[in-house]
Chains A and B, each alone.
Chain A
């Protein structure tokens, strides 16, 4: 059974803007899928439909075989607590320490009051430090997040999502704000998590070369429709131009670097 299955999903914002049109695909457990496409093509909407930060207008989305488009409040909370999410702008609480931000990954698993006052068990704290050690952030644990570099902040983002014990991690442009070396560190960590922990990863990416190098499967989206779904080897130059609706020589990938 696929972990995630989109069946003819459409999303229209404010009755006018079509973000997704008739999108269907499914993702098996342990897959590492990259979604590429121009800005505004619906990549972010696609990811946010999975954890109901955005509600799909039509179609059904099956997570572990259960349709989540009609999930109620408790069901949504159950979905979200096992689904990690990583953001382009990291979306940490900048004024809190690294360890507090990592522990935020447990909020969905806790009672409302314990979470609100920040009461975490010793077990959870040990887990948090173990994950921080894995990501090389042990020394920064008590620093405030606004003291960190972009790459370090994104590692905190990864740590927070790992605290959720996720089955699936959604990454919305995880490396778009990072320099090339931090970007590599982040991509290596994500790839490692996917392989060693068997967590399914779906990434939105702007860098076609990165997508082709790291993932075994690429989905290309243009104007809210899937125009490519397959391995990177079959993704030809002309197909890339079709995805980005450009002609030969107009893309940075054509520059040959």
Chain B
């Protein structure tokens, strides 16, 4: 190599090398995590070995009891009906929440520059709705609506609204900031910028997030259904408490099958629109 001498390059002294710092950080993090694990095990009286030993027993118990028997299959039409009801509710909730979230995201994003204070307000409200888990929303709403399908609807709605507002804001800021600047420079107003710039450029991400929330809501609505005595969650709770484990198992299997089905469909949709 011409121009490069073979002498040793000087390594700057009095300065800890990056490599040493990196190793030190790694060791400290490893020790830290181990310590946290040890302390929490002692405090909660959890024994790792017992925990792992219990797994085979648990699996065999599930295999013995939760396999759907003939009686369970005779209930399949009922289960299917509730399953469809739950799935449709999740779709309805997600679509409603998405429409509201889109409006609030347009107020909350920096790209549209509507008003910094409104933007901040929207982001705080969205953070609140998102950080209260949907199960907690359900428990709170039980007081107002009782064991009713509306309770489940609103619990899922609030949580979905919070999540989607945040992700829509991020998507819009990331994807459309450049073209929004150009459209504003042509003299386009806000409405035109939204419909001609923001929506076309962020549509695939927005649809993708809506599909993801539909999947998530089908899973979550099962648990909420246990609380609100509606939908497929109620069926599971009912069979489980009657110790009809075979039917409860069938409920679980049908939920898993539905979620996989929905995931497959939404992956196809994603591929088509990207």
Contacts and interface: CB of A to CB of B under 8 A. Distances in A.
Contacts of A104: 182-183, 186, 188, 196-197
A149 B189 CA distance: 29
A107 B192 contact: yes
Given A80-B184, A160-B186, A164-B187, A93 B197 contact: yes
Interface string A87-103: 10101111110001000
Contacts of B183: 93, 104, 107
B182 A92 contact: yes
Contacts of A78: 187
Contacts of A51: 185
Contacts of A1: none
Given A91-B178, A94-B201, A95-B203, A115 B185 contact: no
A29 B179 CA distance: 28
Interface string B189-205: 10110111100110110
Max chain B CB contacts within 10 Å: which of A77, A113, A115? A115
A117 B196 CA distance: 8
Nearest to B189: A112
A109 interface: yes
B195 A116 contact: yes
B181 interface: yes
B195 A81 contact: no
A92 B179 contact: yes
B186 A105 contact: yes
Contacts of A92: 179, 182
B187 A93 contact: no
A95 B201 contact: yes
Contacts of A107: 183, 186-189, 192, 196
Contacts of B184: 53, 80
Contacts of A77: 187, 189
Nearest to B202: A95
A85 B188 contact: no
Size class of B's contact patch?
Answer: 20 to 34
A91 B186 contact: no
Contact of B178 (A89, A108, A160): A89
A96 B187 contact: no
A154 interface: no
Interface residues of A, number: 35
A83 B186 CA distance: 7
A100 to B, nearest CB: 8
Interface string B134-162: 00000000000000000000000000000
A118 interface: yes
A47 to B, nearest CB: 10
Contacts of B191: 112-113, 115-116
Interface string A66-90: 0000000000011111011101010
A160 B188 CA distance: 13
Interface in B251-266: none
Contacts of B196: 93, 96, 100, 104, 107, 115-116, 118
A116 B189 CA distance: 9
B194 to A, nearest CB: 7
A109 B181 contact: no
Given A92-B179, A107-B183, A107-B186, A112 B200 contact: no
A78 B186 CA distance: 10
Nearest to B176: A93
Interface string B21-61: 00000000000000000000000000000000000000000
Contacts of A100: 196
A116 B194 contact: yes
B201 A80 contact: no
B178 A81 contact: no
Nearest to A53: B185
Contacts of B178: 87, 89, 91
Nearest to A96: B200
Max chain B CB contacts within 10 Å: which of A89, A92, A110, A116? A116
Interface of A: 51, 53, 77-81, 83-85, 87, 89, 91-96, 100, 104-105, 107-110, 112-113, 115-118, 157, 160-161, 164
15 contacts: A53-B181, A78-B187, A81-B186, A91-B181, A91-B182, A93-B196, A93-B200, A104-B186, A107-B188, A108-B186, A112-B189, A115-B189, A115-B192, A118-B195, A161-B186
Q: List the 3 shortest-distance A-B pairs measured between CB atoms, nearest first.
A: A108-B187, A81-B187, A91-B182
Given A93-B179, A104-B197, A115-B191, 15 more contacts: A51-B185, A80-B184, A83-B185, A87-B182, A91-B181, A93-B201, A94-B201, A95-B200, A96-B196, A104-B186, A104-B188, A116-B196, A117-B195, A157-B182, A161-B186
